[in-house]
A and B are shown apart, each in its own frame.
Chain A
């Protein structure tokens, strides 16, 4: 008898826990674009721990390299890497501006505005359910990070945009490879706009290209148009890897993003309002 009581008790606990989590799921679905308070609290609690863990590892790694490696060479290398990073971002933004055909005066004004608009950030977390969905960075609202800010990699390729939740020192990035992401793009030098959607496996689809369109071919470089009001125009998004014609109204076009996930470490958050600049 006591055994069966114990068994019943444990079963009730199991069912309660499962019920609690089903309730939890039901209050989150459908979530839409906004995060709920529960998600925000959990993110705020756990992301600093994650940040701490990554910082400790980085600290230990730096200590090792700093003391046992060539200290001076390392410092020079770090300085040069930062310089290259900054120049790459500047170059990318300038190229974007050139494509929008600004006058020299406007360009100079923009350059002044752009100074200090690139915020370097490090990745402290990847999405456990799908690494192509989202990233967490170690910069937050205290550093000036806001929702919908554009995020580029070291080479100035588009990675994604900032989404909720943004806490004081952490923020989440929705990658362009996420299935819920959408970026308005155009093949470089061709006037065929379309929308890139992630398909969840590291690749994207280029949607809404009419079946009769013959301009898009394999190898085309896709750049942002800025029509979506989030991403500034002229940033390299990816390359077309296959164009398939089928019976549907639109072509089936596969795209590989320009960023390489294995090289993502340092990212650039563009802290200026791109809509005002371009």
Chain B
């Protein structure tokens, strides 16, 4: 991994951070629908492999935990597993076609939501706030957005070559 990749990774995390803050300013409901940190983790895991996915997942998860009065590590564990899985499975199956990419990202986001919810409920002994059910749409909406961005970035890269 070259310096350029690291800069790209840091910039992407910053963009996710920025978008998260922006969403919170627009409407709190939007926070339930989009998970930009997960998209960054999955994208880099697809590009760079499972080890980077796991590390970036841990970092982004802790960053997400820093937004909350939550316990550090809850989102971290969920994102570490998702980052690793994204990198590992994408080396076994081709997830470049847009439909397959969408299904792949959607499934990973569902897994992340389940792990996070279970850990949260276990640690806090309380039910996760679903935002009136909005959180259940998070994997779908984030996956649609993620697949479109992934496709756009790949097109941009291929046109540069």
Q: Which A residues fall within an 8 A CB radius of B?
A: 9-10, 13-14, 17-18, 20-22, 24-25, 28-29, 31, 38-39, 42-43, 45-47, 49-50, 53-54, 57, 124-134, 163, 172, 174, 178-179, 200-201, 261-262
Contact = CB atoms under 8 A, between A and B. Distances in A.
Given A21-B80, A128-B31, A54 B73 contact: no
B74 A25 contact: yes
Given A18-B80, A29-B123, A133-B68, A126 B31 contact: yes
A14 B50 contact: yes
Contacts of A53: 17-18, 21-22
Contacts of A261: 28
Contact of B58 (A21, A43, A125, A262): A21
Contact of A14 (B31, B54, B64, B129): B54
Nearest 5 A-B pairs (CB), nearest first?
A128-B67, A21-B73, A130-B129, A134-B69, A24-B73
Contact of B68 (A20, A25, A134): A134
A211 to B, nearest CB: 25
B50 A43 contact: no
Q: Chain A contact residues: over half helix, strand or loop, or mixed?
A: helix
B25 A28 contact: no
Nearest to A200: B129
B80 A17 contact: yes
A125 B123 contact: no
Given A14-B54, A53-B17, A128 B65 contact: yes
Contacts of B75: 128-129
A22 B122 CA distance: 13
B55 to A, nearest CB: 7
Interface in B116-150: 120, 123-124, 126-129, 131
Contacts of A129: 65, 68-70, 74-75, 120, 128-129
A182 B31 CA distance: 26
B75 to A, nearest CB: 8
Given A46-B63, A46-B66, A50-B21, A10 B72 contact: no
B64 A128 contact: yes
Given A10-B50, A42-B72, 8 more contacts: A17-B54, A17-B80, A18-B77, A18-B80, A22-B73, A47-B66, A50-B17, A129-B69
A131 B80 contact: no
B121 to A, nearest CB: 11
Contacts, number: 128
Contacts of A43: 66
Contacts of B49: 10
Nearest to A131: B28
A41 to B, nearest CB: 10
Contacts of A13: 51, 54-55
A28 B127 contact: no
A109 B57 CA distance: 57
B54 A24 contact: no
A92 B57 CA distance: 46
Given A132-B129, A262-B27, A28 B72 contact: yes
Contacts of B129: 129-132, 200-201
B54 A125 contact: no
A264 to B, nearest CB: 9
A53 B16 CA distance: 11
B24 interface: yes
Nearest to B64: A128
Given A172-B69, A262-B28, A14 B21 contact: no
B67 A127 contact: yes
